[in-house]
């Protein structure tokens, strides 16, 4: 059985996903960025879309369709990157300017 | 202030003379080079053919003993990028023996979409009367409508010729109906709106441009996939004008582009109707950044673009294949069709759009080259006064 078909792969993927969510939470708290439910939903949808893009590329190559992998990868990859940039800007909504610098100065 | 051709140095005038001469020579060469050999196509349709003679534009095909095998005639119609020529064979009983594509100038990626083998095998064995009813097999192939229409018209013309000359049967050749619907009206409204917005206050102008581009992205881009392409413009330069009744939208867009540059000094098609320009603007809005490129690159890139356009057009004219001038990634985005070059260009352009203002429009689009040429013509006609106004 290949690595990608094994249960260990899915265990790793789940672990990485949990770490990612915890990291986002910590990042938002450090910067005093409010994280309402719509930000979490957008973020999770985006993560799944990125996962879908990678799966599309991988399975297309696996099925012996490199042209589909390249075209689909370009199309979905571009959508993922552009929506990622948009999401990044959306996530920062509500950030209080100067809050981060203040927190760092107090710690020192 | 931009200088008109009159005010520009002589080197510019010489450059234009060189470009015009090269275009005329390549178009002349493309037009006059010898046509394809008809014999292999006749043998494809009539495998036992040994010789043929021509009578009133119809090929009379004979076997080894001089017996009549049938007749063949070629039919031609304008497709997306120029004339398409087919040979249709009819046997002595008046049924279709087969068909063969003599030459076409369609964009390869769209030509592959047309299911002509299916259509051709369907019409083989049909009588004159039946053939008129078998067109649905090929008509309206999504994304390759113009090529499909040209195939149908070519077959009809070829069959009509043989039927008229050899069987005294008249097959009607009706003109295609005028295509005037929502899309054509939308183009006219968008163009009129773009012109009207020039006389409005700046915030209203801006709001109209955003609305117009959003609409154009959906309608001209994803719905109709009909932006102006280098293939279309090269086809016009080569003298291949598609049937206006079935291609009114193309004429509206091209005439709108040319007229707005000549009248207002800038292309309102590019700023209000181009779906690819629209998507770059929207992506830049998402990216929220506009990096300023170094001056040397701003000078170099448009020249590189002009050179690429010049080489593409001259080559396409010389080999009489406007479809080969195509390098834009429009179809990759709007119809998910294109070669690797188009897909990689699409990737690069869309990602650059996050941090640059419409990189394709400024540095790669052949329409920009066309706009500059038209601006120079306008400058030459109106003189410095007109340019100051623009």
Contacts of B104 (CB under 8 A, 6+ apart): B79, B82, B83, B84, B85, B111, B147, B150
Residue ranges of A 41-70 with Cβ closer than 8 A to chain B = 70
Minimal C-alpha gap between B290 and chain A (Å): 14
Same domain for B263 and B319: yes
Same domain for B341 and B269: yes
Average pLDDT of every residue of chain B: 83
Give the residue on B whose Cα is nearest the Cα of A90. B286
Q: A103 — contact with chain B (CB < 8 Å)? A: no
Q: Is residue B233 in a domain?
A: yes
Domain boundary among B166, B193, B214: B166
Q: Is residue B333 in a domain?
A: yes
Minimal C-alpha gap between B347 and chain A (Å): 6
A46: chain B residues, CB-CB within 8 Å? none
Residue B133: is its pLDDT beyond 70?
no
pLDDT tens-digit profile of B43-99?
Answer: 888 888 888 888 877 888 888 888 888 888 888 887 777 788 888 888 888 788 888
Q: What is the CATH number of the domain that holds B76?
A: 3.90.1010.10
Q: Among candidates B212, B208, B181, which has minimal Cα distance to B197?
A: B208
B354: chain A residues, CB-CB within 8 Å? 81-82, 85
Same domain for B46 and B18: no
Domain boundary among B140, B166, B192: B166
Same domain for B122 and B183: no
Q: Is residue B172 in a domain?
A: no
Contacts of B179 (CB under 8 A, 6+ apart): B245, B246, B247, B248, B249
Long-range residue pairs from A28-31, CB within 8 A, at least 24 positions apart, any chain: A28/A91, A30/A100, A30/A103, A31/A95, A31/A99, A31/A100
The ipTM of this complex is 0.76
Give Cα B366 to chain centroid, integer Å.
13
Same domain for B351 and B375: yes
Residue B388: is its pLDDT beyond 50?
no
B332: chain A residues, CB-CB within 8 Å? 71
User: If you average pLDDT over each of A19-23, B6-10, B240-244, which comes out highest?
Assistant: A19-23
CA–CA distances in Å: residue B108 to residues B76, B242, B279, B325, B327: 18, 18, 25, 11, 12
pTM: 0.78
| Total tally of structural domains belonging to chain B | 2
Same domain for B223 and B201: yes
Length of chain B: 390
pLDDT tens-digit profile of A51-101?
Answer: 999 999 999 998 899 988 998 999 999 999 999 999 999 988 776 655 555
Same domain for B272 and B289: yes
Say if residues B151 and B120 touch (Cβ distance below 8 Å): no
Say if residues B177 and B244 touch (Cβ distance below 8 Å): no
- Inter-chain residue contact A74 with B336, CB threshold 8 Å: no
The C-alpha atoms of residue B292 and residue B271 are separated, in whole angstroms, by 20
Same domain for B102 and B149: yes
Q: Is residue B387 in a domain?
A: no
Minimal C-alpha gap between A92 and chain B (Å): 13
Q: Is residue B105 in a domain?
A: yes
Q: Map tokens 């590329």 to a residue.
A: A57
Closest to B346 (Cβ–Cβ): which among A74, A81, A89? A74
- Inter-chain residue contact B351 with A70, CB threshold 8 Å: no
B346: chain A residues, CB-CB within 8 Å? 74, 78
Q: Which residue has the higher pLDDT, B71 or B5?
A: B71
Residue B229: is its pLDDT beyond 50?
yes
**Coil vs helix vs strand at A36:** coil
The C-alpha atoms of residue B14 and residue B361 are separated, in whole angstroms, by 27
Say if residues A42 and A61 touch (Cβ distance below 8 Å): no
Residues of chain B with a CB closer than 8 angstroms to some CB in chain A: 283, 286-288, 332, 336, 340, 343-344, 346-347, 350-351, 354
Q: Is residue B305 in a domain?
A: yes
Task: Label residue B119 by pLDDT band (50, 70, 90).
Answer: low
Same domain for B207 and B158: no
pLDDT computed for residue B254 by the predictor: 94
Token pair belonging to B176: 């295609």
Other C-beta atoms closer than 10 Å to the C-beta of B57 total 10
CA–CA distances in Å: residue B98 to residues A35, B42, B72, B119: 68, 9, 9, 11
Domain boundary among B166, B197, B228: B166
Instruction: Establish, for the pair of chains A and B, how many residue pairs have beta carbons separated by less than 8 Å.
Output: 30
Same domain for B192 and B338: yes
Same domain for B140 and B236: no
Contacts of B301 (CB under 8 A, 6+ apart): B362, B363, B364
Minimal C-alpha gap between B340 and chain A (Å): 8
Q: Is residue B156 in a domain?
A: yes
Phi, psi for residue B73 in degrees, rounded to 5: -145, 150
Q: Is residue B112 in a domain?
A: yes
What is the extent of the structural domain holding B232? Answer: 10-30+179-382
Same domain for B220 and B308: yes
Closest to B286 (Cβ–Cβ): which among A70, A71, A82? A82
Helix (H) or strand (E) holding B72: strand B68-78
- Inter-chain residue contact A78 with B344, CB threshold 8 Å: no
């Amino acid at each position: 059985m290949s690595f990608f078909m094994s249960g260990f792969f899915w265990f790793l993927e789940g672990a990485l996903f949990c770490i990612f969510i915890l990291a986002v939470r910590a990042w938002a708290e450090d910067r005093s960025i409010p994280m309402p439910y719509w930000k979490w939903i957008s973020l999770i949808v985006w993560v799944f879309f990125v996962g879908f893009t990678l799966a599309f590329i991988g399975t297309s190559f696996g099925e012996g369709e490199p042209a589909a992998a390249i075209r689909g990868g370009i199309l979905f990859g571009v959508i993922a990157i552009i929506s990622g940039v948009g999401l990044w800007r959306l996530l920062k909504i509500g950030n209080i300017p100067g809050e981060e610098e203040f927190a760092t100065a107090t710690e020192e | 202030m931009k200088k008109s051709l009159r005010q520009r140095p002589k080197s510019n005038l010489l450059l234009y003379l060189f470009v015009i001469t090269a275009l005329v020579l390549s178009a002349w060469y493309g037009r006059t080079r010898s046509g394809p050999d008809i014999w292999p196509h006749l043998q494809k349709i009539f495998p036992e053919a040994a010789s043929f003679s021509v009578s009133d534009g119809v090929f009379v095909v004979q076997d080894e003993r001089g017996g009549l095998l049938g007749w063949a005639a070629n039919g031609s119609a304008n497709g997306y990028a120029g004339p398409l020529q087919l040979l249709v064979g009819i046997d002595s009983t008046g049924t279709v023996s087969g068909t063969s594509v003599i030459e076409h100038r369609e964009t390869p990626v769209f030509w592959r979409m047309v299911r002509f083998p299916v259509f051709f095998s369907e019409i083989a064995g049909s009588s004159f009367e039946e053939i008129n009813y078998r067109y649905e097999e090929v008509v309206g192939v999504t994304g390759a409508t113009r090529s499909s229409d040209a195939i149908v018209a070519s077959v009809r013309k070829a069959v009509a010729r043989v039927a008229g000359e050899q069987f005294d049967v008249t097959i009607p050749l009706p003109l295609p109906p005028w295509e005037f619907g929502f899309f054509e009206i939308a183009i006219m409204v968008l163009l009129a709106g773009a012109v009207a917005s020039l006389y409005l206050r700046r915030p209203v102008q801006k709001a109209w441009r955003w609305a117009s581009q959003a609409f154009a992205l959906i309608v001209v881009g994803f719905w109709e996939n009909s932006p102006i392409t280098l293939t279309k413009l090269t086809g016009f330069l080569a003298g291949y004008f598609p049937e206006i009744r079935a291609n009114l939208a193309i004429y509206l867009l091209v005439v709108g582009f040319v007229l707005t540059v000549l009248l207002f000094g800038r292309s309102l098609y590019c700023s209000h109707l181009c779906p690819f320009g629209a998507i770059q603007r929207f992506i830049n809005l998402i990216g929220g950044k506009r990096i300023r490129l170094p001056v040397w690159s701003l000078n170099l890139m448009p020249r590189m673009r002009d050179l690429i356009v010049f080489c593409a057009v001259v080559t396409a004219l010389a080999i009489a294949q406007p479809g080969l001038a195509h390098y834009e990634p429009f179809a990759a985005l709007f119809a998910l069709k294109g070669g690797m070059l188009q897909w990689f260009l699409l990737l690069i352009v869309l990602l650059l759009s996050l941090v640059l203002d419409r990189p394709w429009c400024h540095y790669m689009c052949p329409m920009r080259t066309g706009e500059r040429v038209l601006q120079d013509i306008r400058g030459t006609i109106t003189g410095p006064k007109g340019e100051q106004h623009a």
